[in-house]
Amino acid sequence: MESLHEVILRYTNYKPAKENIVFHQHDGRWLRTNVVRDYFKTVCKRAGLPLLSPHALRYTHAVHLLEAGAETKYVSERLGHASVKVTADTYLHVTKK
């Protein structure tokens, strides 16, 4: 299976619409939300997992970072939150650590 970098190198017209797009087409344009959501549901069903939204990946990522000892400020900046308080209020209650 090709890595993302290999796919990008194969397509010379790759120009991301903006930085840090997670779900994008080969030419760098973003994928519509409903396309990502529908595909994610299909993958969950095939894997026998509960139906989750792609946002669940972001949520899980943030919680794991905090549980691993990452500073709340770092996680807040990584997620693009307006303040550390938003991050703390949203994610810190989830973890016992």
CA 79 to chain centre: 9
**Tokens representing residue 16 in the block:** 């991301």
Helices 72-79 and 55-67, interaxial angle, to 10°?
A: 160
On whether the pTM is more than 0.95, the answer is: no
Quick: pLDDT tens for 41-67: 999 999 999 998 888 888 888 898 888
Alpha-carbon distances, residue 55 vs 12, 16, 28, 29, 78 (angstroms):
30, 21, 20, 19, 15
Spatial distance between the Cα atoms of 95 and 5, rounded to a whole number of angstroms: 34
Instruction: Please compute Rg for the chain using Cα positions.
Output: 16
